Amino acid sequence: MNIFFVSSEVNPFVKVGGLADVAGALPKALSKLGCSVSVVMPGYRQIDFQGKSPSKFQKVLDVPLGYGNETADVDKLSLMKGLDLYLINNGAYFQRESPYDFPDDKRRFIFFSRASYELARILQPDIIHCNDWHTAIIPGYVRYFWDKEPVGTLFSIHNLAYQGVCDRDMFLYSSLPESAFNPEEVEYYGKFNIMKAGIVYSDMINTVSPTYAEEIKTPEFGCGLDGLLKKRSDALVGILNGIDEDEFNPGNDKYLPIKFTLDTIDKKEDVKKFLLEKLGLSYHKGAPLLSFIGRLWDQKGIDILVQAIPELMDKDVYMIILGTGSEYYHKTLEQMREAYPGKISINLKFDNELAHLIYGGSDFFLMPSKFEPCGLGQMIAMKYGTIPVVRGVGGLKDTVKEGETGFVFFDYTYTALLESIDRALNLYWNDRDGFYNMRKRVMLEDHSWDSSAKKYMELYSKILDLKRGV
């Protein structure tokens, strides 16, 4: 089966969030299962080619859009047998100081989508697999313009909160037919909603956990699209993400100064000591280390975490926070750093190496998310024997079981968060065997891509059967 997998970020070439992890790992797992996968992403300035050199695949790719013909050129990099990376290059759109966050992002990703669609016409895959709003318009192009052998489309929702809503002039730029601008298709209260195109026109839709697939059909989590998602519920499924075990493995993690496995689990304490000292906190035995890694936005529950910190700091615990996000939380956390010297380490940056060390050296990993499509942090933490404390929403609910593989709270309040942390600390201080048993249990959980990749294969087959009218 030939899969054309389109994503705005792909690990390890460019990573901003969890989407890159998925776009890096799932295609690899699919190609190991025998698929031939073409991964397509923009040719950003920030790409780290990992020492390899891409070759020119297409010197001039015509990209027909609303304001006339534009062009891209396409590079290709072979990653392994059955797995190629294609880069859509256009200097004006992608040679900038960061991958996202420009006023013309909608235009940039409409361009990327149309260029990817034109590349798909050349490669003629069996399935075009699109991810999040950046690529959601591609199934619309397929619906209206595809002129080759039938192709199936899958749209994956990694985060419904970002929908690419923009003015009608971007719809005109997209070059979808005028008739598509109606509330049944891509219009959204007079605006153009790019995410809607993915939901309306794809053969099948999936989200990244079974619970989130249910949640988004409700007003609380549906971000205004719950009605449409309910309407398409026959075509909507949830498949849990996995983690890339080549990258996240305490037994051979290049960033850990001391490696450990289930059999040498005691060495985890040495990683903790190394980590604390690296961050200027002096280690003493018996004080657990609680950590948080993630975007500093309300989605991640940073507001209730900040409220809980003063009470937490009264206890004999350490805390490490790594993340970037809103200016407000940067300032608030800087104040926490001043208030609790020697107990809390605040790291306001994106730092992959430090993230690995934190996963490796922590005792507990906090994810108090308001909503969480899947969440990778809790699964990565488990792989390193770090016990998750999470809010029971979305993929967190699907991956963490209270008292067995972590601690779960439900009310979105700092008091509920503190209560779940107290249960965790009680285990740590008062039931050492129970704590070590849980630590071992979480390490044994299978969050590899193997089983999820098989589910994607089944979904692709189902789509092809639908196309063939089987």
| Footprint on this chain of ligand ADP (rule: CB under 6 A) | 17-19, 21, 293-295, 322-324, 350-352, 355, 374-377
Q: Which residue is nearest to ligand ADP (CB)?
A: 18
Query: Smallest distance from the beta carbon of 50 to ligand ADP, in angstroms?
Result: 18
> Nearer Cβ to ligand ADP, position 7 or 90?
7
Query: Smallest distance from the beta carbon of 218 to ligand ADP, in angstroms?
Result: 20
- What secondary structure letter does DSSP report for 386? P
> Nearer Cβ to ligand ADP, position 127 or 393?
393
Structure tokens at 104: 């013309």
Query: Smallest distance from the beta carbon of 302 to ligand ADP, in angstroms?
Result: 11
Which residues lie across from 6 on neighbouring strands?
40, 130
First vs last C-alpha separation in the chain: 17
Structure tokens at 85: 């990376």
Query: Smallest distance from the beta carbon of 67 to ligand ADP, in angstroms?
Result: 33
> Nearer Cβ to ligand ADP, position 97 or 149?
97
Query: Smallest distance from the beta carbon of 21 to ligand ADP, in angstroms?
Result: 5
Helices (H), 362-400: 377-383, 394-399
The reply to whether omega before 99 is within 30° of 0 (cis) is no
> Nearer Cβ to ligand ADP, position 131 or 420?
131
> Nearer Cβ to ligand ADP, position 72 or 389?
389
Q: Judge contact between 296 and 322, C-beta under 8 A.
A: no
Q: Indicate the residue type of 357.
A: L
Distance CA 248, CA 445 (A): 14
Output the CA angle 433-437-439, nearest 5 degrees.
115
Structure tokens at 255: 């960033």
> Nearer Cβ to ligand ADP, position 77 or 322?
322
Residue with the two structure tokens 């990694």: 158
> Nearer Cβ to ligand ADP, position 248 or 318?
248
Query: Smallest distance from the beta carbon of 92 to ligand ADP, in angstroms?
Result: 28
Query: Smallest distance from the beta carbon of 309 to ligand ADP, in angstroms?
Result: 18
Cβ-proximal residues to 394 (8 Å cutoff; 6+ apart), any chain: 209, 211, 212, 215, 221, 369, 371, 372, 373, 374, 375
Query: Smallest distance from the beta carbon of 394 to ligand ADP, in angstroms?
Result: 10
Q: Indicate the residue type of 173.
A: Y
Query: Smallest distance from the beta carbon of 161 to ligand ADP, in angstroms?
Result: 9
Helices 449-468/18-32 angle, 10° precision: 70
Distances (CA, A) of 194 to 21, 148, 170, 330: 23, 24, 10, 31
Of 77, 68, 84, the C-alpha closest to 27 is 84
> Nearer Cβ to ligand ADP, position 29 or 170?
29
> Nearer Cβ to ligand ADP, position 115 or 322?
322
Query: Smallest distance from the beta carbon of 397 to ligand ADP, in angstroms?
Result: 14
Distance CA 397, CA 393 (A): 5
> Nearer Cβ to ligand ADP, position 48 or 169?
48
Distance CA 276, CA 315 (A): 17
Distance CA 148, CA 142 (A): 10
